[in-house]
Amino acid sequence: MAHIIGGITTSHVPSIGNAIHRGEQQTPYWKPFFDAFKPLHAWLKTAKPDVIVVVYNDHGLNFFLDAMPTFAIGAASTYHNADEGWGIPVVPSFNGHPKLSWHIIEDMVEHEFDVTSCQELKVDHAFTLPMKLLYPDAGEDWPVKVVPVLINSVQHPLPSAARCWKLGQELGHAIRSYPEDTRVLIVATGGLSHQLDGTRAGFINRDFDLMCMEKIVSDPEALTRFTNRELIEQAGSQGVELMTWIAMRAALGSHVHEVSSTYCAPLSNTGGAVMLLEPDLGAVQMAAE
């Protein structure tokens, strides 16, 4: 059976890619954020995931306002990156895990989640930057296979926080029911609070962000009680990317251990955060029984 070995959250703002490209990781502005990944690098060397399920939102590389699926899952054998116009170098392609992807898709549909299955999919900065942060020395060959899971946070109506929680629960069930011995890491990317346009451009809510980081460990279902309107009020119009965190956390099970946690704000007009969580395997086993 497959095992979910951990969950990671990280911001994915495009300027991270430019900082990497320019070698600015240890400048005073960027150092706290990049240093937050050092304990994650050490953890990855020990944990050795076989597959990373990346929960993120597409920014127009695949889907635009004329056709925006609420939930989509990649089922390709290869995922290519493309130039989005941010000046970030295109990264090498990623190897998918079609067998696990289809297992997840079929489980989701069986349990009444009408996901869009993508047999071709380009991955944008919300996917590639977290992978580059986790594996900065990967070179041309990424050491893991990937499964992209996309949540709409762009085109209204958006899925509710409660719906994303249920999606994550089913994602966790689907992964654990996969019959092959596979070590799976779930990475949720986006946020925290930020707004890129309008009269509140540059808005960051530090208190809300820190509350989310505490609740995602101790009481994650409290976050599902926010309506989308409330999330936008509290976290900005792009702060709804918190949905990816909620889905990841639900997949981990009822109890987790916080291994590492860092908050950096402002991070290019974003409340930037990095967290590493491990599921309580005893609680997961009891739930399965």
Residues in CB range of 165: below 8 A, 6 or more apart = 220, 221, 224, 246, 247, 249, 250
Residues in CB range of 216: below 8 A, 6 or more apart = 9, 223, 245, 246, 249, 275, 277
Q: Quick check: is 194 catalytic?
A: yes
Q: E strand or H helix at 123, and its extent?
A: strand 122-123
Residue whose pair of structure tokens reads 């949905």 in the numeric block? 243
Point out the catalytic residue in the list 3, 125, 255, 257. 125
Point out the catalytic residue in the list 12, 59, 97, 194. 194
- Give me the sign of the Cα torsion angle 94, 120, 149, 123: positive
| DSSP, residue by residue, 90-111 | PPPPEEB-HHHHHHHHHHHHHT
What does residue 219 show for φ and ψ, rounded to 5 degrees?
-155, 65
C-alpha separations of 18 from 35, 85, 98, 141 in Å:
17, 12, 31, 21
Q: How far apart are CA 166 and CA 162, in angstroms?
A: 6
| DSSP, residue by residue, 2-59 | -EEEEEEEE---THHHHHHHTT-TTSTTTHHHHHTTHHHHHHHHHH--SEEEEEE---
Q: Quick check: is 103 catalytic?
A: no
Give the angle subtended at the CA of 280 by the CAs of 32 and 257, to the nearest 5°: 25
Largest CA distance in the chain: 51
Tokens of 54: 């990346």
What does residue 261 show for φ and ψ, rounded to 5 degrees?
-155, 130
Residues with catalytic roles: 125, 194
